[in-house]
Amino acid sequence: MQIKVNDNIILVGTAHISEDSVKEVRRVIEECRPDIVAVELCQRRYDAITKKDSWENKPVTTLLKGNNAYFMLAQTFLSSIQRKLGREHGVEPGSEMIAAMQEAKKHNVEVALVDRDISVTLKRAWKKMGFREKTRLTWEFLKAMIGFDEEELEELDLEELMDQDVISQLMEEFGQMAPSVATVLIHERDVYIAKKIFDESKKGKVVAVVGAGHLQGIKKHLESNDFENVDLKELEYVPKKRIKVGKTVAYAIPVLFVTLIAWLLFTRGTAAWIDIKDIFLWWFLINGVLSAIGAAIARGHPLTILTAFVAAPLTSLNPAVAAGWVAGYVEAKLRTPKMKDFQDMSKLESLKDFWNNKVIRLLMVVALANMGSMIGTFVAGTKIFHIVFG
């Protein structure tokens, strides 16, 4: 879809898996002969498209800590859907961006990367999300991944995906599920990309190749030409860490646990030991079992599942360590991913591919063991409350 904003800016809206988009990009650049070709890429995404070995250089330890497992699973899963659709239509994801850069080189034209750094976007989204949004998104993602339906993908109509109304509707639904994420992923990027295109247009005629889902938003901002108050540095700023409810709860749990034991001993004396034994029993069983179930769903090694069972009750009382990290470390030792597993991550297309890849299995062990432990903490807490006060 081609839109002429003014004499200096032409937008080309594309689908990332469409051969028609590749042809249109080439045609528009050939006909318009711009001074600059702008593409909806940041340096990281540019490297991901042009350097296929990026996964191979990642240390296994980077997969275990923080939210890396969730981010990498989401990135790999969504990329695999694009690859699956792309294969159905005979084109690699991102081919239209590559075509744009090839045409620019052919005509000796400057290429401008106009998207915000993907890591900045993800960090801003994560930090702006509340606990409920994070939980809901994680749950929806895991449901989608476990229930990955290839037949549904085959039924998707690429022409329908290119229809702006359909894409806008999908974005609106996503915005209702996680409003803060939609703001960062969609609206902020519309402003950011539009501003970068506007700045490039001061140097000459620009053909900008952007995803169809951003086309109307970018067009609106360019037509309004109101960029006086748009500060790119502000849009690139990642909010500093602050005290969050989730972290506060994590640190409060061991304090409450110890306080509860002390209170029972003080108020009930030796009679409290019966309740204390029940408290520890249920805490260990519920935490351990649910974390172990998570590791088992991820098809972890039997020793990994056992590790999750033992680690979860202890790590739940230590905010600095997570059960998934410990279980993931054991899984990595027992089934160390090889270079081939990292290379194959760029080829995953089916549910079977996901379950058989050692890197994905490691990520799933970390994510699901952590999730099981989190659920176990709240379930065990409820059980303990009934033991003490019921």
pLDDT one-digit tens code per residue, 261-317: 888 888 888 778 888 898 999 999 999 999 999 999 888 999 999 999 999 999 988
Q: Mean per-residue pLDDT for 105-129?
A: 85
Please compute the mean of the pLDDT values over residues 72-87 and round it to a whole number: 56
Q: Comparing C-alpha atoms, which of 298, 316, 2 is closest to residue 142? A: 298
Q: What is the pLDDT of residue 163?
A: 45
Q: Rounded to the nearest 10 degrees, how much is the dihedral formed by the CA atoms of 251, 256, 262, 267?
A: 170
Give the least confident one: 150-164, 261-275, 362-376: 150-164
Instruction: Please enumerate in sequence order all residues whose Cβ is within 8 A of that of 294, keeping only pairs 6 or more positions apart, or say none.
Output: 308, 324, 365, 367, 368, 369, 370, 371, 372, 373
Cα(22)–Cα(99) distance, integer angstroms: 6
- Find residue 112's DSSP bridge partners: 38
Residue 166 has pLDDT above 50, yes or no: no
Q: Average pLDDT over the chain, rounded to whole?
A: 78
For 169-214, the DSSP string reads: HHHHHHHHH-HHHHIIIIIIHHHHHHHHHHHHHTTS-EEEEEEHHH
Give the whole-angstrom CA distance, residue 36 versus residue 80: 31
Res 195 pLDDT > 90: yes
Span 210-232, mean pLDDT? 88
- Looking at residue 250, its amino acid is A
Q: What is the pLDDT of residue 152?
A: 46
Per-residue CA distances from 174 to 129, 134, 137, 377 (Å): 13, 13, 10, 29
Please tell me the distance from the alpha carbon of residue 83 to that of residue 105, in angstroms, as a whole number.
26
Q: Are 141 and 77 in contact (CB under 8 A)?
A: yes
Average of per-residue pLDDT across 366-390: 87
Number of helices (H) and strands (E) in the chain: give both, helices first.
20, 5
pTM for the whole thing?
A: 0.62
Distance from C-alpha of 118 to C-alpha of 66, rounded to nearest angstrom: 17
pLDDT value at residue 81 = 53
